[in-house]
């Protein structure tokens, strides 16, 4: 709770320590988030995604600079690939954000995916809340860039920006299927390359062919992030999208869906934690049953069913206790 108070008072050290506490799921993390939650909801969350090599980190750096020119404070969550040796982030994104790394009103946190599918670690949503409660006006989440299935960002961000580049073979391959439908704004970065105009045309055609209902027509912005070209226009489009969300009431709906998704993830996480504890308490029995499954004396489906039944009884008991308190 001292860390929570420190965050509310603007302590950078408390901010870093609290994020670490939550990311590592240390004792007190859940209680800390319970205390933080009432102070959230003010920051606008920008999600930046796209294939590896599209220039997401450089673009994040330039967007942050543009926001800082207008005196907005910014928090950056840079999702990096997980180190196979330490489990930590490789910090590659941070290297490309030297332009804002020394700004006192910009806080950068690199986080590892830790094997999580969808491009985000499980602690990303909690970290964005902590930065929100800390008082950041904007929180930018830059995903790791895992490819066509990277759609988790839409469940975390208020605006999803999909960054693509021309001249990478089958240009449209990067924006197929589900990932195509998450973009509120499309950025064709490195637009000085040959094929940039063709890629813009292809995106427009795919948007026209999309069957998904849209009240907002996604903007397409050409940028050369390394030269600061097109970044000012991109920030304008981000603000236009925010105005649209607020005026149409869509922002409240998106955040409600985000909460719904977060509750599901929290429940899943708690179930996994309980299951891990169950295994730890019955290690010998579990190992023997694994041997039986390997030897075809048992099947994994029965073991999984029995584990679910045990967890369900535990949940039912807890629910009864809560009802009794009410």
CA atoms within 13 Å, Cβ hemisphere of 241: 25
Q: Which of 92-101, 126-135, 278-287 bottoms out in mean pLDDT, i.e. has the lowest?
A: 92-101
pLDDT at 254 over 70: yes
User: Residue range 66-76: average pLDDT?
Assistant: 96
| pLDDT tens readout for residues 143-164 | 876 554 456 777 789 999 999 8
- Place 74 in a pLDDT band, splitting at 50, 70 and 90: very high
Residue-level pLDDT at 168: 63
| Alpha carbon 301 to chain centroid, angstroms | 32
pLDDT top residue among 24 and 137: 137
Residue-level pLDDT at 99: 66
SS3 190: coil
Cα–Cα distance for residue pair 54/37, rounded to 1 Å: 34
Residue-level pLDDT at 323: 60
Residue-level pLDDT at 220: 95
Kindly report the number of other CB atoms within 10 A of residue 289's CB atom: 17
Runs of H (alpha helix) within 10-136: 12-23, 29-36, 56-69, 92-95, 124-134
- Place 79 in a pLDDT band, splitting at 50, 70 and 90: confident
CA-wise closest residue to 87 among 110, 114, 111: 114
- Place 174 in a pLDDT band, splitting at 50, 70 and 90: very low
Residue-level pLDDT at 313: 84
SS3 110: strand
| pTM exceeding 0.85 | no
Residue linked to tokens 């062919």: 209
pLDDT at 86 over 60: no
- Place 110 in a pLDDT band, splitting at 50, 70 and 90: confident
User: 180: which residues sit within 8 A by CB, 6+ positions away?
Assistant: 162, 206, 210
DSSP string, 225-258: GGGTBTHHHHHHHHHHHHHHHHHHTHHHHHHHHH
Dihedral of CA 310/306/117/258: which sign? negative
Residue linked to tokens 């330039």: 62
Q: Which of 108-117, 136-145, 213-222, 247-256 bottoms out in mean pLDDT, i.e. has the lowest?
A: 108-117
Computed over every residue of the chain, the mean pLDDT equals 84
Q: Which of 108-122, 218-232, 269-283, 296-310 bottoms out in mean pLDDT, i.e. has the lowest?
A: 108-122
Residue-level pLDDT at 172: 53
pLDDT at 117 over 50: no
Residue linked to tokens 């390394």: 226
Residue-level pLDDT at 140: 96
Dihedral of CA 269/271/275/280: which sign? positive
Cβ atoms of 75 and 136 closer than 8 Å: yes
Cα–Cα distance for residue pair 15/12, rounded to 1 Å: 5
Distances (CA, A) of 248 to 9, 161, 215: 34, 20, 9
Residue-level pLDDT at 268: 83
Distances (CA, A) of 90 to 62, 79, 117, 120, 151: 21, 9, 17, 15, 22
User: Residue range 56-62: average pLDDT?
Assistant: 92
pLDDT at 89 over 50: no
| pLDDT tens readout for residues 219-243 | 999 999 999 999 999 999 999 999 9
pLDDT top residue among 179 and 316: 316
Residue-level pLDDT at 82: 55
Residue-level pLDDT at 264: 86
């Amino acid at each position: 709770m001292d860390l929570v108070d420190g965050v509310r008072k603007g302590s950078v050290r408390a901010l870093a320590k609290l994020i670490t506490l939550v990311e590592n799921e240390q004792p007190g993390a859940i209680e800390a988030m319970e205390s933080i939650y009432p102070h959230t909801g003010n920051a606008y969350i920008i999600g930046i995604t796209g294939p590896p090599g599209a220039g997401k980190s450089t673009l994040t750096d330039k967007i942050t600079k543009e926001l800082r020119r207008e005196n907005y404070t910014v928090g950056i969550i840079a999702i990096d690939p997980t180190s196979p040796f330490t489990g930590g982030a490789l910090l590659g994104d941070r290297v490309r954000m030297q332009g804002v790394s020394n700004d006192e009103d910009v806080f950068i946190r690199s986080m590892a995916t830790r094997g999580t599918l969808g491009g985000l670690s499980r602690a990303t949503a909690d970290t964005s809340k902590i930065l929100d409660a800390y008082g950041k006006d904007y929180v930018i989440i830059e995903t790791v860039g895992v490819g066509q299935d990277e759609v988790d960002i839409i469940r975390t961000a208020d605006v999803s920006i999909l960054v693509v580049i021309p001249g990478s073979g089958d240009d449209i391959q990067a924006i197929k299927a589900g990932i195509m439908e998450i973009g509120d704004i499309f950025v064709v970065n490195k637009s000085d390359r040959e094929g940039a105009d063709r890629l813009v045309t292809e995106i427009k055609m795919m948007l026209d062919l999309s069957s998904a209902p849209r009240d907002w027509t996604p903007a397409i912005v050409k940028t050369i992030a390394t030269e600061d070209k097109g970044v000012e226009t991109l920030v304008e489009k981000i603000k236009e999208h925010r105005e649209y969300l607020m005026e149409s009431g869509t922002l409240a709906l998106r955040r409600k869906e985000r909460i719904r998704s977060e509750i599901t993830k929290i429940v899943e996480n708690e179930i996994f934690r309980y299951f891990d504890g169950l295994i730890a308490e019955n290690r010998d029995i579990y190992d023997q049953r694994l041997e039986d499954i390997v030897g075809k004396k048992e099947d994994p489906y029965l073991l999984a069913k029995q584990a679910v039944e045990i967890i369900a009884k535990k949940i039912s008991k807890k629910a009864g206790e809560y009802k009794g308190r009410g």
